[in-house]
Amino acid sequence: MHERVEAALEQIRPMLRADGGDVELIDVTDDGVVLVRLIGACGGCPMAAMTLKEGIERLLKEEVPEVQAVEAV
């Protein structure tokens, strides 16, 4: 599942990079929780929580149905 999550993240990275940020995949737990780190401009952005839940989590759940949640570390 780790590889499928990484491939899905590649779809959203161009949008994050356009704003000076990125997302780093830290881990995928056995129970389907994806741990990520928002880096660059995304790390300190006031909209980071929305980007995480409405952007990254939504995309990952669509592309990898086993994903239960996405959490920032």
DSSP 8-class letter at 65: T
Q: How confident is the model at residue 49, as a pLDDT?
A: 87
Q: What is the pLDDT of residues 10-67, one digit of tens each?
A: 999 999 999 899 999 999 999 999 999 999 988 888 888 888 888 999 999 999 999 9
Q: How confident is the model at residue 57, as a pLDDT?
A: 95
Helix (H) or strand (E) holding 18: helix 2-18
Structural domains present in the chain: 2-72 (3.30.300.130)
User: CA dihedral in degrees (46, 23, 26, 2; nearest 10)?
Assistant: 130
Q: How confident is the model at residue 36, as a pLDDT?
A: 97
Q: How confident is the model at residue 45, as a pLDDT?
A: 82
The closest alpha carbon to 40, from 58, 57, 24, belongs to 24
